Amino acid sequence: MAMAAAAAARGVLAVVVAVAVLWGGNVARAQTPVFACDASNATVAGYGFCDRSKSAAARAADLLGRLTLAEKVGFLVNKQAALPRLGIPAYEWWSEALHGVSYVGPGTRFSPLVPGATSFPQPILTAASFNASLFRAIGEVVSTEARAMHNVGLAGLTFWSPNINIFRDPRWGRGQETPGEDPLLASKYAVGYVTGLQDAGGGGGGGALKVAACCKHYTAYDVDNWKGVERYTFDAVVSQQDLDDTYQPPFKSCVIDGNVASVMCSYNKVNGKPTCADKDLLSGVIRGDWKLNGYIVSDCDSVDVLYNNQHYTKNPEDAAAITIKSGLDLNCGNFLAQHTVAAVQAGKLSESDVDRAVTNNFIVLMRLGFFDGDPRKLPFGSLGPKDVCTSSNQELAREAARQGIVLLKNTGALPLSAKSIKSMAVIGPNANASFTMIGNYEGTPCKYTTPLQGLGANVATVYQPGCTNVGCSGNSLQLSTATQAAASADVTVLVVGADQSVERESLDRTSLLLPGQQPQLVSAVANASRGPVILVVMSGGPFDISFAKSSDKISAILWVGYPGEAGGAALADILFGYHNPSGRLPVTWYPASFADKVSMTDMRMRPDSSTGYPGRTYRFYTGDTVYAFGDGLSYTNFAHHLVSAPKQVAVQLAEGHACYTEHCLSVEAAGEHCENLSFDVHLRVRNAGDVAGRHTVFLFTSPPSVHNAPAKHLLGFEKVSLEPGQAGVVAFKVDVCKDLSVVDELGNRKVALGSHTLHVGDLKHTLNLRV
């Protein structure tokens, strides 16, 4: 039955594609891409801003000089109005590409010509692969499909992705959109995905962009709607230490290392100030300290929110003035279009402030080729519908899910043997999930392979949902049919978890238990099952599944995130051993009591023993866990051996430095003493089992107990692929001032002197950092 459903789904897609091909010529002619500087119009082509031999800054200055104030203001909002007298069409800045080209932003849509795009796993699962090259590869495919759609008038060029906020609290509804709780992982994901999206092949730098990415939501944003506390009015009270140690690093990396074209400021306030009206955070840090080469955009309607919801200013003109003067360049919404001219006329804002903002926006459009004429005659101009949903792109979506899926428990039941299974019971509210697999900020996928379809392609299946939806209330529970199916099957696969009705934007969880009566469903089915029971949790955030972890009736547990369009195929690949699982948890799985004891609005990362506050994330959390950050099993075993690492590292301070005569706990993590201050760690990793597999090598460090430092933090990770018995060498280059530094109580980076312990698996190596 599952195989027939899969074939039917493929048949529908084939018809759609065939129609698109038949209609392709007419649709392509009707839907031309949006661009300025049409070479066929001699008047327009002669403008200085259309002269491709000039720099982007010079061209932007030429365009700016031709505009009235009212016209300039039209370029401050996402729905950019057309300017026919200069041959500039309307442009929609808002498109999304969180894990594939999305229909969520108004700048992108699907049609019979391009009915769908490749839908990759939600970032939380991709992050679980701990594979930086995969992060970039996905970005490259997404930007290729985006450009292909742009060339036929279906997509813009500015994509407000990725979401790189730290997944601080397990209840956060948008944690699924992020790379997890670790600042280094989030930073590497940001750089990889952004580079994949933006790299136009010309060496990067300040030049051409394939598409423009946007790192969001800046900053300390991770409360949406929890027990009535909403993101629109939430004031995140954050210490300077936590801000610079946890919340800011991914954004810093995104701007400095990823050269991202945009940063989005968030709805919330930080320490009393709306982020989009905080000059220190915008002009001071993003553009000043980090040297953003691009534009700063507001989250949608957040300028309106700071006036109407937060009542931060007395009148709308003040709101327009303070945001633009703070460094905002583009308003998602209409607020600046409505109130900026009045703000200038009232003397609250100068026209030169508007000029600066509009110029930043123009330069990005210049780098994207928007003012270079017909994009079909430019680099990437040959891309079109044939380049969307290609077989290789869809295979990468399946591979991303395979690499991210985390095996949490295995008593020996996995991998399954398809030849020895005559019947498989596939049970659970997510067992035949399709739309659920692609999470939020989704686009129409190329096709779906549900868990039931993926498993049914390998063995005969009997399907029972057990609950009619993930809420699994008493009325929707169907225990008898589910237990009957399990009692007569050789093996049972239970697929439970969440969907967007449980966790999403604007909805945080209040409990860490599986929704409704899912635990009862799992236990009843496990007790009735004739054969091994495999529990699969499909979710963005973590759950307390201690009962399943400790149950002798449940042979294996896997977490599959929201695995994208090919999630069911990837799950089958793992369960039947065609691919060895290698994913690792990118977040801590807390016990249910955490949600009872800890307020979601408490932004402190560090524990407070005087009040019993346990801290947050693996770096600081002092309580019990269900599963730990980095947990994940394989069908084989890997052995680590330290080949080389220093035992002593000396920091050469300037002559006469006070720390030569006084006892210093730390020294500044900047200055001449940091230049070339690095060392290598070499490890040999051997596949000690009889199955080929990938393996993530984590290098952690535990610094000396100074400045309330983390208990341990991640310095680096590398993914290796090894055949049975094969060994490989993994090298980490450790930059002392970057990698071994901690943030002190005032937010300054310091190199902690004394004993640092490096961890790789069960290996520990101590090195002494001294002056």
Q: List the catalytic residues.
A: 299
User: Which own/partner pairs from 29-32 qualify as long-range (CB within 8 Å, at least 24 positions apart)?
Assistant: 31/111, 31/113, 31/152, 31/153, 31/154, 32/152, 32/153
415-437 in b/e form (b: 16+ CB < 10 A) is bbebeebebbbbbbbbbbbbebb
d(CA 330, CA 254): 19
The answer to whether the CB of 102 falls within 8 A of the CB of 145 is no
Q: Give the helix, strand, coil percentages of the chain, each rounded to 5.
A: 35, 20, 45
User: On the CB side of 4, how many CA atoms lie within 13 Å of its CA?
Assistant: 3
Distances (CA, A) of 91 to 36, 94, 371: 10, 9, 12
What SS3 string covers 191-234? HHHHHHHHECCCCCCCCCECCECCEEEECCCCCCEECCEECCCC
Residue 751: DSSP 8-state: E
Cα separation of 238 and 243, whole Å? Answer: 6
Tokens matching residue 2: 């599952």
Phi first, then psi, for residue 265 (nearest 5°) are -85, 155
Phi, psi dihedrals of residue 158, rounded to the nearest 5°: -115, 115
- Residue indicated by tokens 């082509």: 45
**Amino acid letter for position 248:** Q
Paired sense of beta strands 262-265 and 295-298, if any: parallel
Q: How far is Cα 486 from Cα 480, in angstroms, rounded to an integer?
A: 10
Q: Are 752 and 769 in contact (CB under 8 A)?
A: yes
Question: Tokens representing 533?
Answer: 């029971």
Residue in 303, 253, 252 with CA at minimum distance from that of residue 278: 303
The Cβ of residue 66 has, within 10 Å, a number of other Cβ atoms equal to 13
Q: Of 531, 271, 561, give the one whose Cα is nearest residue 413.
A: 531
What whole-number distance in Å separates Cα of residue 727 and Cα of residue 721?
Answer: 9
Question: How far is the C-alpha of 640 from the C-alpha of 336, rounded, in Å?
Answer: 57
Q: Which pair of structure tokens corresponds to residue 79?
A: 């729905």
Dihedral (CA of 598, 604, 610, 614) sign: positive
Report the distance separating Cα 423 and Cα 216, nearest Å.
47
Can you tell me the distance from the alpha carbon of 640 to that of 728, in angstroms, rounded to the nearest whole number? 10
> Which residue spans within 206-338 are E strands per DSSP?
215-218, 225-226, 229-230, 235-236, 262-265, 269-270, 273-274, 295-298
DSSP state of 708: T
| CA nearest neighbour of 396 among 77, 134, 18 | 134
